[in-house]
């Protein structure tokens, strides 16, 4: 992804230089307003046609206006009491900030999202000198997505692994892992719900 963005950035830079040189020739160096206006127009067309975005396109049909996001319960064998409310809040924030949908608590919302944390397990992922060197926390979430307008329901699972030193207990590791867990799971759920992957 970084390589793609870097290549796109370089292409934009080279294109900008070429456009400015061409506009210098057409308008002369004294006509700065005309040159700048045409430059902005050309760059806008270029970016639109190439679809250069920092995130994948969010795909929501125009007739869909509302969404209900249920509380993501914790049904894993090990329950982190902070994970459910914080993950629910992060998902709500991301949908509010990155879609045009209006959040509602009504059961007749066009989109309805519910789910639960299905997995929160620790295993050994690395061994050094016949001792565990790295532990792995695996967090999984099951999502139920209902499209009321189409009267259809989809279910999917997202799961991510998070490694930490075997010298740390799970409680100690959670302090540094929680933010990464929330960010990665929220992004993956959001992308599965709305994006063209």
9 & 85 share domain: no
Helix (H, G, I), strand (E, B) or coil at 93: helix
pTM of the model: 0.68
159 & 86 share domain: yes
Q: Is the pLDDT of residue 127 over 60?
A: yes
pLDDT, residue 1, reads: 43
78 & 175 share domain: yes
Average pLDDT for 12-33: 53
d(CA 48, CA 62): 20
Query: Residue 26 is part of which domain span?
Result: 2-50
pLDDT, residue 5, reads: 40
Asked whether the beta carbons of 87 and 74 are under 8 A apart, the reply is: no
58 is a domain residue? no
State the total domains in the chain: 2
102 is a domain residue? yes
d(CA 69, CA 104): 8
In this prediction, residue 20 has a pLDDT band, given cuts at 50, 70 and 90, of low
* Structure confidence by residue, pLDDT tens digits, 65-116: 999 999 999 999 999 999 999 999 999 999 999 999 999 999 999 999 999 9
pLDDT, residue 54, reads: 35
Asked whether the beta carbons of 86 and 182 are under 8 A apart, the reply is: yes
* Structure confidence by residue, pLDDT tens digits, 182-194: 999 999 999 999 9
Asked whether the beta carbons of 181 and 160 are under 8 A apart, the reply is: yes
In this prediction, residue 133 has a pLDDT band, given cuts at 50, 70 and 90, of confident
44 & 105 share domain: no
55 is a domain residue? no
45 & 70 share domain: no
41 & 73 share domain: no
153 & 75 share domain: yes
20 is a domain residue? yes
């Amino acid at each position: 992804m970084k390589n793609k963005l870097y290549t796109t950035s370089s292409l934009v830079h080279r294109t900008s230089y070429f456009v400015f040189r061409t506009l210098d020739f057409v308008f002369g160096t004294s006509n700065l307003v005309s040159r700048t206006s045409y430059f902005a127009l050309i760059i806008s067309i270029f970016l639109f046609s190439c679809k250069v975005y920092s995130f994948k396109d969010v795909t929501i049909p125009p007739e869909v206006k509302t969404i209900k996001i249920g509380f993501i319960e914790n049904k894993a064998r090990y329950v982190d009491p902070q994970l459910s409310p914080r993950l629910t809040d992060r998902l709500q924030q991301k949908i509010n900030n990155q879609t045009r949908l209006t959040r509602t608590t009504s059961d007749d919302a066009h989109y309805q999202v519910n789910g639960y944390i299905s997995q929160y397990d620790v295993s050994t992922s690395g061994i050094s000198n016949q001792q565990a060197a790295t532990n792995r926390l695996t967090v999984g979430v099951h999502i139920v997505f209902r499209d009321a307008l189409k009267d259809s329901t989809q279910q999917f699972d997202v799961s991510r692994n998070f490694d930490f030193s075997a010298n740390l207990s799970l409680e100690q590791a959670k302090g540094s892992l929680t933010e990464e867990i929330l960010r990665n799971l929220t992004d993956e759920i959001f992308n599965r719900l709305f994006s063209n992957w």
